[in-house]
Structure 1
Amino acid sequence: MSAASSAGYPESGAPRTTYAGERVVRETKPAYKTTEMIAYVAAVIATLIASAVVGDDDGGTDRFAADQAWLYVTLLTIGYMISRGLAKSGIRGQGDDTRG
């Protein structure tokens, strides 16, 4: 028989306590519920609208071409993906639970 430690766990093997009633607390919200998602969508829409609204100058050249706007949208997307990755980097997934 193994002796129990002060926390109620046996010295070896799986813990004897059950975790049935515990609530799993997440550190971050889902992406669609965050302010950075709202800011990202607003920035993408504003970039595309600005590209459509800004017209030709007197010389007939487009001052904010569509390819430049889509480059900015791509950069915004990369920044958003990095920010979400950093926000979730310290979170254990549901499959990582090693309890009993």
Structure 2
Amino acid sequence: MSAASSAGYPESGVPRTTYAGERVTTETKPAYKTTELIVFVAAVIAVLIASAVVGNDARGVDRFPADQAWLYVTLLAIGYMISRGLAKSGARGRDDNSRV
């Protein structure tokens, strides 16, 4: 038993071609085109510069040691990855067959 299909539609019901005027792009921009990346890079640079510039206190103890700065950089990276993940979570990929 075979199902009949109309022109342009395979048996699964998904069209082989797109409708006129339909966008084939994804919802979100690539990561390098977003302000999120610019803010992330600027924040990482600012944290590392602040760690290098902040000096010792009166007792000679470093007030912003490198290990604390790298912890902040790691937290910034985690936040950036979460924000990109949330931005991409609603985006449909090119191979998404949600119109079935």
| Band the TM-score falls in, shorter-chain normalisation | 0.7 to 0.9
Say whether residues 1:35 and 2:35 are aligned partners: yes
The Cα offsets for residues 25-79 of structure 1, whole Å up to 9 and x where unpaired, read as: 3211001110111000000000000000001111010000000000000000000
List gaps (5 residues or longer) in structure 1: none
Runs (4+) off by over 4 Å: none
Identity %: 67
Contact kept in structure 1, 2:25 and 2:94, CA below 8 Å = no
3-state SS in 2 of match to 1:14:
coil
Question: Normalising to structure 1: TM-score of the pair?
Answer: 0.77
List gaps (5 residues or longer) in structure 2: none
Distance 1:82 1:41 in 2: 15
Alpha carbons of structure 1 residues 95 and 67: separation in structure 2 relative to 1, 3 Å? same
Alpha carbons of structure 1 residues 98 and 66: separation in structure 2 relative to 1, 3 Å? same
Equivalent pairs counted in the alignment come to: 95
- Which residue of structure 2 aligns with residue 18 of structure 1? 17
